[in-house]
Amino acid sequence: MKTYIDKVTELVAERTGIKNGNLVHLYALLVLVRGKEISLNNVHDAWALDMNFRPQSAQGFGHEHKCIVPFEKLSAEIQYKDKKYADILRAVAEELGI
């Protein structure tokens, strides 16, 4: 039996194309708790939380990623990268009436 959590998670994964289950779960949680009020800052914090607990890779990803800083310390260009995901998550919330 699918739960409401499954439905949100599946829509987030489908709409964002994200394969990382941890990040999909964090984004689904944003949909549930923030709904249409999801901000770019919220999206960044969820991404940073996921990235913070990933192992370091040869590309510098993981705990040492340069963008694991508070949202307001990011350049406008980097901040804008979260817009795509915030828009998708807000649309999922709208579709589900959250």
Q: What is the mean pLDDT of residues 70-85?
A: 96
Candidates 33, 50, 39, 20; CA nearest to 98 is: 33
Q: What is the mean pLDDT of residues 64-83?
A: 94
DSSP state of 81: T
- pTM for this structure? 0.91
3-state secondary structure of 86: helix
Query: Rounded CA gap, 15 and 92, in Å?
Result: 8
Query: Rounded CA gap, 36 and 31, in Å?
Result: 7
- Mean residue pLDDT of the chain comes to 93
Q: What is the mean pLDDT of residues 81-89?
A: 97
Q: What is the mean pLDDT of residues 21-43?
A: 97
The predicted pLDDT at position 46 comes to 98
Contact 92, 8 (CB under 8 A): yes
Candidates 43, 41, 33; CA nearest to 72 is: 41
Encoded tokens for 22: 């941890």
| Structural element, H or E, at residue 28 | helix 21-34
- Split at pLDDT 50, 70, 90, the class of 55 is confident
Contact 61, 54 (CB under 8 A): yes
